Structure 1
Amino acid sequence: MASAVLREELECSVCLNIYTDPVALRCGHNFCRGCIDRVLDSQEGSGEYSCPECREKHTERPSLHKNITLRNILDKIRSSLPGQQSGVFCTHCIHSPVPAVKSCLYCEVSLCEDHLRVHKKSEEHVLCDPTTSPETRKCSVHKKILEYYCTEDASCVCVSCFVIGGHVGHKMMSLDEATETMKKKLRNNLQKLMAETEEAEKRVQSLEERRRKAQEKAGGEKARVTSLIGDIKRRLEELEKKVLSDIARQAEHVSMLLHNQIQKLEIKKEELSRKMCHIEELCNMTDPLTVLWEANPGDLCDTEDRHDEQLHDGGDLDVAGISHTLHTGLADIIIEVSATKYMPEVADILLDVDTASYRLHISDNKRVASRSDMKMKYPDTPHRFQDCPQVLSSRSFSSGRHYWEVDVGGPHSWRVGMCYPSIDRKGVPRSLTGYNRKSWCLCRTGGQYSVIHDGIVIRLPGRISSDRVRIYLDYEAGRISFYDLCDPIRHLHTFSATFNEPLHAVLCVWEGCVEICGKVKEI
């Protein structure tokens, strides 16, 4: 524990207490920051500033420098005192630092247990927790203790501010009352923050679960794609071996055939060379009889090739056959992989009879919608289309990528597409698919094909060559696309939007029938 001599060296000459946040002037004397600030404030307007100890004068307010070494020494001394937490010591214990238990705002002193017992108990002596800056609890204008809280200015004031100061007529509360009111608000805010924290925690858990599922799904997709690509590679390698083997077999056959032809031509060359030599010898003879006897017109003078019927140009590679084998194999791989692995079937898409118009007949399997000349005996429901021959699917889509196909049945009049469940069920044209902001469709009317949304008609060139149409939905990307399932498949049109409701398939049949084919595919 510090000695009495050491304590004197650690005391501020202004407040006579152990330094709090010690700072030094240019002359080297140390003071509590709060103490020297108050001294310098009091000297403002006098034209000069001076050190409280050596009286060194300054024409301008001197700057304050932290005394790091002194502060570290004080921290170590305070940490060695048992039970000392606040660093505030009793003002009256001058021989050794004794921790203060209270501070008197009226006297601006700090008190230990012993000095607190003999301290005056009158009302003006307001006690608070130990503090080194009692002036912060007093009015900066009237230098009186802060006793009230002005609700209009949200500030603590003294009695003079309330009676004669700038807060006259304002609504006031006692500090205790204001504190309880503030605590009540803080507790309410705490409850709200706790609820928001709980909600945030739930969202974090939900997002973590979604992330976990996404990672699991990604792992499954990676395995599926790896298996798919591996299968394609294996099939391509088998196809490559088959085609290369066919090419090698044909090349060997052509090579043997040409080799035989070359041998036959070599024999022919030797025979012709022999005949040429014999003829030259006969031409050089002078005895006529010898020439005539040895010349055999049937052998030497016959220039026709008796081997022509045995010689030909040989064969060549069957390139057309090789190409056919290659292209057929590739097509088989693509068809098999696409049909069995890339787009798995997930669920049926069926028509909701409760939404069907009275002029539509829905088949028992809920896949075919046919225009009926007679009014169907359907029960009245609020979801039924009244004025347009339309029907929705019972299934809706609010995420993901999906596609399905519809058989439009040849040259009939129809509309196929998607819509929100909030589409109007009465009125023409507002309930008609394509003539509002809640539906997108492909339409055939009078032999003309078009796509329609919000009453805007875009005519398509040409015609749909097949009887089947594919509808593709990418909900997150906001795309609805239509395809003609001819060979090859032809893209017709893509709508782009930001979807804010689930989407249902919708069929509108003015003439003939439309059938949903197979199951929905999820990509």
Structure 2
Amino acid sequence: MELAAALADLQAEASCPICLGYLKSPVTIYCGHNFCLACITESWKDLKGSFPCPSCHFVCPNKKFQNNFQLGNLTEIAKLLPLRRSKRKKQEGSLMCETHKQVLTVFCQKDLEVLCPQCSFSADHQQHYIWPIEKAADYHRKQLARHIELWKEKVEQIDKVIAMQTGKSEELKKKVEHRREEIKSEFEQFMLFLQNEHEAVVRQLQDEENELLAKLNENVADTSDHASASKCLLKEIESKYVKSEVEVLTSVKSIYRRYRSLKCPEMFSFQFRDYVYQLPPQYSGLNRIIKQFHVDVVLDPETAHRKLIISEDRKSVRYGNMQKLPHSPQKFYIWPAVLGARSYSSGRQYWEVEVKDKPEWILGICTAALPRRRKNQNQPFLVKAGLWGIGRCSHTSYIAFGPKKVNLLPKVIPIKIGIFLDCEMGEVSFYNLSDRSLLHTFNDYFGGPVWPYFYTGTESRPLRICTVTESE
């Protein structure tokens, strides 16, 4: 084995690092490495000023090299030895540079490219770190080994995700089937409700028709009786008219009395009642909004006007006496208003506020840009941007406040207001919970986070935020 290793070392020393073949006319350069004369001449052909060694990249001061006759003799001896299998395989499997027709023996670490010695001397790679292909391969094998472990972990994670997703397909099918049955049941109930409602309205209409028809027939009968009586009186008058003076005058009193008492029945007129009905709560969608998106809103004392008194649980606010509070740029100084403690910029949220019989209030949402202490601005109703809300301005006046004011006409006076904010759609809707009707919806671009907004007016009755359990 030692002899074989020694022969292999001899053959390696007799080989040119550039062409990997046996040295031909071997020469030694300044750093001590040996090359074929033709190989080193070709490598340094286009270089000027600096001449790096193809093996160690030591920069030789000049283009001079010495003939190494002794190494040439050793090379001739090495040629006579049987060629080692590993050396033969290496020579046969070596890749050649297409440009310079030299064996690829070095590696550029920056560009991650395998190069021949002459490519490594080019301007493209002159400032790059170049090292022997064997060392580079060893280094990158270690790097790839680490990456392989990481990739294995990632592949395992992906396989787990795929397995989980595959397992969820059955779960999805079951949920879809369950939801399909729920929808079918809901629609069947809805259709039954509509059928019952239709039958009830038709019955009411039939009852009204019968009632009106009876009254109409009665009116026709009364009018017919009046016509008969009028005709009889007319005949009697005509018969008396032609008689003597005494007979006419003796009957005239009776005729006048009967004429005055004979009154024609008024013509019967009728008008159908309004048949208005509302969908029950389970079909309005409001119950699902309340159940799924109800959030627990509390007030932020830092934003409250100095005359507003906030309860300990921060669920109620009322107008009262001036309080000595530290200055804050977040406070409202002109209007008696306060904000919710948390802003919303995504998702969907729902909250409720009890207003009862309070004569003046505004509820809604606002942006951070809503003015807090603007001069000559004593009404929140004049704000044209940064506020979307509804409010009561008097006992009978309800208004939606936003970019434009809209008069509202609720059929039932609101006692409690539901507010549904959909940040994804840019919508905020207001519900009258007294009859579960939709009062108004704003569809706008909010431009950032928004806060719940509460304006109390200058009357002492409170606004109260309802807790989640109170609405369930």
TM-score normalized by structure 1?
A: 0.45
TM-score normalized by structure 2?
A: 0.49
